[in-house]
Chains A and B, each alone.
Chain A
Amino acid sequence: MKTRPFILCLALLFLSSPLLADDDCDDPVAKWQPRENLRQKLEAEGWTVYRIKVDDGCYDVKGRLSGQYRAKASFAPASLTLMKLKLEREETNDENDADNSYGSQTWGVTPDTSESSAPRNGIVKGRPSVKVE
């Protein structure tokens, strides 16, 4: 009667262990690819890589993804497969800091003038009309 829950717990324990171990990387060191390969792969995918370090047998990457998210990720060092990814949207009080890239806004779009105030510097009368071609 009491053996059933025990067996169930044991079965769950055995089932969960491979899942828990999933985050670890156990690629043989001889097969590891250089960090530079991972950096190039990520940059081609739109990452800005800040640093790559080795942690628990994985390549741990800190960087920025699509210019909008702070990203932390783990990759298997041999296959460069993504093991873990954590994204955080950049949070700042300053709208200007929404991301740290110079020219990240949509190019070639005429800025919306509807909500802009008229210039106050005195030499320009009224809001200029602006076109990007």
Chain B
Amino acid sequence: MNKILVALGLATTLALPVFAQAREVTFTTELLNYGGDGAYLALYLTDTAGKYQGTLWVAGEKSKYYKHLSGWARIGGLNPAEYDGLTGASITSGRTLKITLDLDDALIDSGHEIRIDTAVEDMRDNRADVAVPLTSEGSGKAVTGRGYVRSFRYDF
């Protein structure tokens, strides 16, 4: 009986940090009715100094156009290992993209910033269309982008 309890305790102790390390975060990005083709978006994280930390999602399936997501591309996003498994269709004018993912807990309230670069064919590329700090306080608060993003919010 004691052995079972010890094993259970050990298993819980080992398992808990694993669960505690990730938090489910939903990122909601609503686009303006800009009237052009589907928009390419890169959602990524930087630290306070603007140094690239990782990609959260890239909307747009053709990697040859990723260079237009210039802020993200310039600081390190263009390496395929960075966006492998994190890409999907581009987003048309006026639509809303909702991404839910498990994010490393250590990235929240630790000075990291979420950035979104946007690009549309034959239209302007927007480096850091959105740039907001990833904090518990900022959760659920919508911000306005300065390019094609009408509003952006994250919830956890």
Interface contact A108-B101, CB-CB below 8 Å? no
Interface contact B92-A124, CB-CB below 8 Å? no
Q: Report the interface size for chain B: residues with CB under 8 A from the other chain.
A: 45
- Cα–Cα, bound, A103→B53 (Å): 27
Let me know if B141 is at the binding interface, CB within 8 A. Answer: no
- Cα–Cα, bound, A33→B146 (Å): 44
Q: What's the least CB distance linking B39 to chain A, in Å?
A: 7
Q: What's the least CB distance linking A125 to chain B, in Å?
A: 4
Q: Chain B residues near A104 (CB, 8 Å)? A: 37-38
Interface contact A130-B82, CB-CB below 8 Å? no
Let me know if A3 is at the binding interface, CB within 8 A. Answer: no
Let me know if A17 is at the binding interface, CB within 8 A. Answer: no
Interface contact A128-B64, CB-CB below 8 Å? no
Q: What's the least CB distance linking B103 to chain A, in Å?
A: 7
Let me know if A101 is at the binding interface, CB within 8 A. Answer: yes
Q: Chain B residues near A97 (CB, 8 Å)? A: 62, 64
Let me know if B99 is at the binding interface, CB within 8 A. Answer: yes
Interface contact A123-B64, CB-CB below 8 Å? no
Interface contact A96-B103, CB-CB below 8 Å? no
Contacts A123-B53, A128-B57 hold; do A105 and B121 have CB atoms under 8 A apart? no
Cross-chain contact of A124 among B21, B101, B119 (Cβ < 8 A): B101
Q: Which of A5-13, A68-76, A79-87, A112-120 is found at the contact surface with chain B?
A: A112-120
Let me know if B65 is at the binding interface, CB within 8 A. Answer: yes
Let me know if A122 is at the binding interface, CB within 8 A. Answer: yes
Interface contact B89-A120, CB-CB below 8 Å? no
Interface contact A108-B60, CB-CB below 8 Å? no
Task: Please name the residue on chain B nearest to A125 by beta carbon.
Answer: B102
Q: Chain A residues near B57 (CB, 8 Å)? A: 128, 130
Interface residues, chain B, CB within 8 Å of chain A? 21-22, 36-40, 45, 53-57, 60-65, 81-92, 95-104, 107, 119-121
